[in-house]
Amino acid sequence: MEIYDVIIVGCGSAGIGAGIEFEKSKCNIKYLILEGRDRIGGRSFTDMTTFGAEIPVDLGAHYICHHQENNFLFKNFLRSDKDFIESDVYDGSIMKIFDRNGTAISDEIILKSTEIVDGLMRFIRANANLDQDVSIQDLIHSKLEGISDEQVRNLVNLFLAYTELHEGSDLNQISALSFGRGEADLEETDLSIENGLGNVVKQIADKYQLPIKLHSIVTNIDISNDFVCVKTKDQQIYKCKYVLITIPLGCLKTKTIQFHPELPRWKQDAIEQMGFSLLNKVYLQFSNIFWEKHLRRITVLDERFKFYYCLPEYSMLALYISGSIARQLENLTDEQMINEIVHSLRRIYPQITQPTKWLITRWSQDPFSFGSYSSFHRGNTIETLEDLSKNTHQGKIHWAGEHTNFNGCIGYVDSGFESGFREGKALLSKLQL
């Protein structure tokens, strides 16, 4: 049987990053990337089928969120004059915020509410040295209750929901102690890519001509002998010196791979404890544009459907839903969800018609991710990430993925690449190539 130097499990950005390190080394390393899906990219995928090749939509990651000059993604995509920076900062010229009855909220109330939210954010960061971690919700609860104006309080909660959207988690889950550490002191600037971030990731992988085997669902890894034995669902067996695990944290939590011997307790604890989020998207295409054509964002004081991104060039709206609400809504059928969304929007735009096409993600039900990306939940620290990144089984099993990027940002595509580069270098060093 053929013996590989390294088997990489998973062909998302982390697996691709490790493969790039091997290719750049110009060494005669024998490696293979096993990917369970019928495509590469993992949670970075641009759909060009549902609405046609001229309307690419990202099902998962969409933004290059840290586009400093040394960012790997930023250096490896072709810029377009249609790329733009997305911002949650209110701008009345391209954004509108409506109350539950469909009435536009005044700029005066919005300004007052944003000032309160800015104060709350300063308060959260000022309490970063708490003796005991609490959730953001618990930390600011009394301050929220102290807002006497109901409309202002509702709007403050809406703006706080931007944090929930960013983290993919509810405020009662997000750590106050570790809040903001997932950015690694990098400036967050969401660069929207015209042709889709998933396409960028695919182009990068194609450029390096990585050895990838699709439809290879790894189910068992046996480390009890001299060589590591990797077994797939279709009964294929691969032997290697080292394995690099890059599958999402959600798959680790669900234990989609069985290890023999099993993972050490400290590794299992880190997997169980680290927060894993959910962010879903609903793309809606209509026969006509019933909203104001100049708008880029429509935001609604609604319990379930708050954040709409306008794509007038495609007669489309993209709705983002996160956390526990996203998880609840995954149990609805497409038709049920679409009808609820249309009913909600009709309070604002009575002339709305039923969408002609739609696409709905359900990432928590995806068997190759079981969610979206990692997030610092209450009790999580940088040490949790370090444990997720540490080798196991006498160094034969290495770990990468956005959830292991302890010395950088987490939760992003660039986080995955960085972790893959890290482990690729470490494995090359071990192989003395």
Q: Give the C-alpha distances (Å, rounded to integers) separating 274 from 173, 341, 423.
A: 11, 32, 20
On whether the CB atoms of residues 20 and 208 are closer than 8 A, the answer is yes
Average pLDDT of 151-170?
96
Average pLDDT of 329-336?
97
- Closest to 18 (Cα-Cα) out of 72, 66, 62: 72
Say which CATH number the domain at 261 has: 3.50.50.60
Both 346 and 216 in one domain: the answer is no
pLDDT in tens, 109-144: 999 999 999 999 999 988 877 789 999 999 999 999
Domain boundary among 151, 183, 215: 183
Domain boundary among 365, 384, 418: 365
Residue 341 backbone phi and psi in degrees, to 5: -65, -45
Both 178 and 291 in one domain: the answer is no
| pLDDT over 60 (residue 308) | yes
Both 121 and 138 in one domain: the answer is yes
pLDDT in tens, 342-397: 999 999 999 999 999 999 999 999 999 999 999 999 999 999 999 999 999 999 99
**How far is Cα 379 from Cα 384, in angstroms, rounded to an integer?**
9
Q: Give the C-alpha distances (Å, rounded to integers) separating 195 from 46, 55, 61, 77.
A: 8, 8, 13, 10
End-to-end, the C-alpha distance of the chain in Å comes to 23
**How far is Cα 376 from Cα 180, in angstroms, rounded to an integer?**
9
Average pLDDT of 39-68?
92
- Closest to 250 (Cα-Cα) out of 276, 268, 270, 280: 276
User: How confident is residue 67, by pLDDT bands cut at 50, 70 and 90?
Assistant: low
Cβ of 433: how many Cβ atoms within 10 Å? Answer: 13
**How far is Cα 325 from Cα 106, in angstroms, rounded to an integer?**
27
Both 58 and 80 in one domain: the answer is yes
On whether the CB atoms of residues 218 and 232 are closer than 8 A, the answer is yes
Both 78 and 225 in one domain: the answer is no
- Closest to 220 (Cα-Cα) out of 252, 253, 257: 257
Average pLDDT of 7-25?
97
Concatenate the DSSP letters of all residues of 25-62 into one string. TT----EEEE-SSSSS-TT--EE-SSS-TTS-EESS--
> Which residues have C-beta within 8 Å of that of residue 53, sequence separation ≥ 6?
none
Please check whether residue 95 lies inside any domain of the structure. Answer: no
Please check whether residue 97 lies inside any domain of the structure. Answer: no
Averaged pLDDT of the chain = 94
Please check whether residue 104 lies inside any domain of the structure. Answer: no
Both 200 and 229 in one domain: the answer is yes
Instruction: Tell me how long the chain is.
Output: 433
Which tokens go with 406? 């302890």
Please check whether residue 102 lies inside any domain of the structure. Answer: no
Both 36 and 166 in one domain: the answer is no
Domain count of the fold of the chain: 3
Q: Which run of H or of E encompasses 429?
A: helix 413-431
Please check whether residue 204 lies inside any domain of the structure. Answer: yes
User: How confident is residue 89, by pLDDT bands cut at 50, 70 and 90?
Assistant: confident
User: How confident is residue 61, by pLDDT bands cut at 50, 70 and 90?
Assistant: very high
> Which residues have C-beta within 8 Å of that of residue 253, sequence separation ≥ 6?
271, 272, 276, 370
Both 259 and 391 in one domain: the answer is yes
| CA quadruple 133, 135, 137, 140: dihedral, nearest 10 | 20
Average pLDDT of 245-251?
98
Both 285 and 358 in one domain: the answer is yes
Both 384 and 248 in one domain: the answer is yes
| pLDDT over 70 (residue 6) | yes
Which tokens go with 426? 């470490």
Both 235 and 313 in one domain: the answer is no
Domain boundary among 365, 395, 413: 365
Please check whether residue 101 lies inside any domain of the structure. Answer: no
pLDDT, residue 193, reads: 82
Instruction: Report the percentage of the chain scoring pLDDT > 70.
Output: 99
On whether the CB atoms of residues 301 and 100 are closer than 8 A, the answer is yes
* Low-confidence winner among 9-23, 25-39, 178-192, 312-326 (lowest mean pLDDT): 178-192
| pLDDT over 60 (residue 433) | no
| pLDDT over 80 (residue 188) | no
pLDDT in tens, 409-430: 999 999 999 999 999 999 999 9
On whether the CB atoms of residues 19 and 4 are closer than 8 A, the answer is no
Please check whether residue 78 lies inside any domain of the structure. Answer: yes
On whether the CB atoms of residues 218 and 367 are closer than 8 A, the answer is no
Between 87 and 426, where is the model more confident? 426
On whether the CB atoms of residues 370 and 251 are closer than 8 A, the answer is yes
Between 194 and 383, where is the model more confident? 383
On whether the CB atoms of residues 91 and 131 are closer than 8 A, the answer is no
Cβ of 243: how many Cβ atoms within 10 Å? Answer: 27
Please check whether residue 99 lies inside any domain of the structure. Answer: no
pLDDT in tens, 253-306: 999 999 999 999 999 999 999 999 999 999 999 999 999 999 999 999 988 999
Which tokens go with 398? 């290495």
Cβ of 325: how many Cβ atoms within 10 Å? Answer: 18
Tell me whether strands 279-285 and 316-322 are parallel, antiparallel or unpaired: antiparallel
- Closest to 21 (Cα-Cα) out of 153, 250, 208: 208
Which tokens go with 219? 């189910």
> What single-letter DSSP state applies at residue 407?
T
**How far is Cα 316 from Cα 314, in angstroms, rounded to an integer?**
5
Average pLDDT of 322-350?
97
pTM of the model: 0.95
Instruction: Report the percentage of the chain scoring pLDDT > 90.
Output: 85
Domain housing 311: 47-88+188-194+277-365
Both 264 and 320 in one domain: the answer is no
Does 350 sit behind a cis peptide bond, omega within 30 degrees of 0 on the bond before it?
no
